[in-house]
Structure 1
Amino acid sequence: MRKIPQQQRSKELVARLVEATAQSVREHGMDKFTTHHVAELAAVSVGSLYQYFDSREDLVEALLEDVTQNLRTGLNTLVLLKTTDLRDMVEKSVHFGMGFLRADDGLAIELVRNWYRLPTQNVVRLLQDTLLDFMRMYLLKNPLANNPERLHIRSFIIANAIVFTMIRAISEPNPFITDAELEKELVEMVVSYLNA
């Protein structure tokens, strides 16, 4: 029987602990999940968990890194489509964002509900950078007449407006707007702003 190296076993255990954290957050919410529950779900002792993570906060940070990596992979796929039609790029991006937030059996929604107290800087930076990449691709074929040198400022405003609006809509227990309506209005807002 082949022996698995210690480093690989450690990576596999950390991955199991991060997945168990996601499952625990889904089941119990951010406020009620515990390291004991995470250890139980990962089928390890609490002592083993604490060999890799010092606290609940460290588990959440590792979970957010995992979510950010999944988001990066999805956004990179969008960037690789190499479309230069502004409306098409915005529609695909907004649709992807809503799908990402609605996927994963409620994990994203629970994270969104607690957005203000989580270390989300990397997620927001990733969204801004990806939007800036999209805008640069668009500008290669379709120069904006209105201050293209302010692209980084526009991408900051757009990314934050979209993210905040999606978070507000998704975290509402009884939303007054459907996902399709929200997507349509966000696309109109971004396209109008960029063409202004």
Structure 2
Amino acid sequence: MRKIPQQQRSKELVARLVDATAQSIRINGMDKFTTHHVAELAGVSVGSLYQYFDSREDLIEAMLDMVTLNLRAGLNKLVLEKTTDLRDMVEKSVHFGMGFLRADDGLAVELVRNWYRLPTQNVVRLLQDTLLDFMRMYLLKNPLASNPERLQIRSFVIANAIVFTMIRAISEPSPFITDEELELELVEMVVSFLNA
């Protein structure tokens, strides 16, 4: 039997603990997930968990790093698509965002419901930077009629408007708007704002 180096075993254990954190949050919600439950789901002792993470907050931060990496991979695919049509770019981006929030059996919804308590600045910064990349790609072929120097400001406003609107809609237990209606309105808002 081949021996697995200690460093690789450590990485695998950390990955299992991060995955177990996500699973525990899905099952119990943010308020009721515990390090004991995470250790149990990962198949390790609580002592082993504490060799790698000092607290449940550290587990949450590591899990958010994993979510951010997955989000980055999906957004990078969008940025690399060969489209310069503004509406198409916005539609794909908004649809991707809603799909990402709805895709993981409730984890994103639980995170969204608790976003104000979490260290989400990296996720929001990633969304803003990606939107800025999209806008730069669009501007290479379609210069804005006025104030292209305000691109960074516009991307900040748009990214936050989209993110917080999605957060608000998804965190509602009984939303008054469907995902499809929300996507359509967000696309209209962004396209109108950029063409103004």
TM over 0.5: yes
Q: Distance in 1 between matches of 2:154 and 2:29?
A: 35
Identity of matched residues, %: 89
Aligned-CA RMSD value: 0.4
The Cα of 1:149 is off from its aligned counterpart by 0.7
Q: TM-score, normalised by structure 2?
A: 0.99
Alignment-mate amino acid for residue 168 of structure 1: R
- Report the counterpart of residue 105 of structure 2 in structure 1: 105
Aligned equivalents of 1:70 and 1:47: distance in 2? 29
| Structure 1 runs not aligned, ≥5 long | none
Q: Which residue of 2 aligns with 1:15?
A: 15
CA-to-aligned-CA distance 1:120-172 (integer Å, 9 cap, x gap): 00000000000000000000000001101110000000000000000000000
Total equivalences in the alignment: 196
The yes-or-no answer on 1:6 pairing with 2:6 is yes
- Return the offset for 1:19: 0.3
- Alignment match, 1:135: 135
Q: State the Cα distance separating 1:179 from its structure 2 match.
A: 0.3
| Alpha-carbon distance between aligned partners in 2 of 1:133 and 1:82, rounded to the nearest angstrom | 13
TM-score (norm 1): 0.99
2:119 matched to 1:119?
Answer: yes
CA distance in 2, matches of 1:73, 1:146: 32
Inter-partner Cα distance in structure 1 for 2:194 and 2:8: 47
| 2:154 aligned partner, one-letter code | R
Question: Which structure 2 segments of 5+ residues have no match?
Answer: none
2-structure distance, mates of 1:8, 1:141: 46
Q: Which residue of 2 aligns with 1:147?
A: 147
Residue type of the alignment partner of 2:35: T
**Cα deviation code 1:45-101 (max 9, x no counterpart):** 000000000000000000000000000000000001031000000000000000000
Alignment of 1:152-163 (within 5 A): 152-163=152-163
Residue in 2 aligned with 1:88? 88
Contact residue 82 and residue 137 of structure 1 kept, 8 A:
no
2:26 corresponds to which residue?
Answer: 26
Could you list the per-position Cα deviations for residues 20-47 of structure 1 after superposition, in whole angstroms to 9, with x for gaps in the alignment?
0000000000000000000000000000
Rounded Cα–Cα distance in structure 1 between residues aligned with 2:29 and 2:74 = 25
